[in-house]
Structure 1
Amino acid sequence: MTIRINLCFSSNYSSLKTLSIDGHFTFDDVHHAAKDFGNRFQLLPFAVLHPRSVSDIATTIKHIWQMGPHSQLTVAARGHGHSLQGQAQAHRGVVINMGSLQGPKMHVHSGNYSYVDVSGGELWINILHESLKYGLAPKSWTDYLHLTVGGTLSNAGISGQAFRYGPQISNVYQLEVVTGKGEVVNCSENQNGDLFHSVLGGLGQFGIITRARISLEPAPDMVKWIKVLYSDFTTFTRDQELLIYAESTFDYIEGFVIINRTGLLNNWRWDNRTSAVIPEEDIFYLVAFLSSAVPSSTGTDGLEHILNQNRRILEFCGTARLGFKQYLPHYTTQEEWQAHFGPQWEVFVQRKSAYDPLAILAPGQRIFQKAIPFS
Structure 2
Amino acid sequence: MATKLLLTFAICRLIVTVGLTLDPTELLRLGVDGQLSVDPSDVETASLDFGLLTRAEPLAVLHPSSAADVAQLVKTAYAYGYGSSTHHGFTVSARGHGHSINGQAQTRNGVVIQMSGRHGAPDAAAAGKPPQPRVWAGERYVDVWGGELWIDVLRSSLEYGLAPKSWTDYLYLSVGGTLSNAGISGQAFNHGPQISNVHELDVVTGKGELLTCSEEQNSELFHAVLGGLGQFGIITRARISLEPAPQRVRWIRVLYSNFSAFTRDQEYLISLHGKPASQKFDYVEGFVIVDEGLINNWRSSFFSPRNPVKISSLASNGGVLYCLEITKNYHESTADTIDQDIRKLSLNN
Whether these two folds match at TM > 0.5 is: yes
Q: What is the distance in 1 between the residues matched to 2:282 and 2:98?
A: 30
Q: What is the distance in 2 between the residues matched to 1:40 and 1:105?
A: 30
How much has 1:160 moved relative to structure 2?
Answer: 0.9
Q: Deviation string for 1:312-370 (max 9, x for gaps)?
A: xxxxxxxxxxxxxxxxxxxxxxxxxxxxxxxxxxxxxxxxxxxxxxxxxxxxxxxxxxx
Contact 1:48/1:95 (8 A) holds in 2 = yes
Q: What is the distance in 2 between the residues matched to 1:88 and 1:143?
A: 21
Q: 1:28 to 1:226 in 2, by over 3 A?
A: closer
Aligned partner of 2:205 among 176, 179, 188: 179
Aligned partner of 2:148 in structure 1 is 122
Aligned partner of 1:96 in structure 2 is 113
Q: Helix, strand or coil: the match of 2:253?
A: coil
Aligned partner of 1:17 in structure 2 is 28
Contact 2:77/2:89 (8 A) holds in 1 = no
Aligned partner of 1:33 in structure 2 is 46
Does 1:239 find its partner at 2:273? no
Normalising by the residue count of structure 2, what TM-score does the alignment of the two structures yield?
A: 0.69
Extract unaligned runs of 5+ from structure 1: 1-7, 264-289, 292-375
How much has 1:256 moved relative to structure 2?
Answer: 2.6
Q: Helix, strand or coil: the match of 1:229?
A: strand
Q: In terms of mean alpha carbon deviation, does 137-146 or 153-162 score higher?
A: 153-162
Aligned partner of 2:132 in structure 1 is 105
Q: Please list, as runs of the form range in 1=range in 2, the aligned pairs for 1:1-375 lying within 5 A after superposition.
A: 11-29=22-40, 30-69=43-82, 70-99=87-116, 100=118, 102-111=129-138, 113-246=139-272, 247=275, 248-260=279-291
Contact 1:77/1:208 (8 A) holds in 2 = yes
Q: What is the distance in 2 between the residues matched to 1:24 and 1:108?
A: 27
More strand by percentage: 2
Extract unaligned runs of 5+ from structure 2: 1-19, 120-128, 299-349
Q: Deviation string for 1:289-315 (max 9, x for gaps)?
A: x99xxxxxxxxxxxxxxxxxxxxxxxx
Contact 1:37/1:84 (8 A) holds in 2 = no
Contact 1:39/1:84 (8 A) holds in 2 = no
Q: 1:65 to 1:262 in 2, by over 3 A?
A: same
Q: What is the distance in 1 between the residues matched to 2:147 and 2:286?
A: 31
Q: Deviation string for 1:187-230 (max 9, x for gaps)?
A: 01111111111111222221111111000011111122222222
How much has 1:84 moved relative to structure 2?
Answer: 2.7
Larger radius of gyration: 2
Q: Stretches of 4+ moved more than 4 A in 1? A: none
Percentage of pairs with the same residue: 60
Contact 2:81/2:90 (8 A) holds in 1 = no
Q: In terms of mean alpha carbon deviation, does 24-33 or 57-66 score higher?
A: 24-33
CA RMSD of aligned residues (A): 2.1
Q: Deviation string for 1:105-153 (max 9, x for gaps)?
A: 3211123x31001111111111111111111100010111111111111
Q: Deviation string for 1:240-262 (max 9, x for gaps)?
A: 11111122311101123223275
Normalising by the residue count of structure 1, what TM-score does the alignment of the two structures yield?
A: 0.64
Q: Deviation string for 1:129-180 (max 9, x for gaps)?
A: 1111111100010111111111111111111111111111111110011111
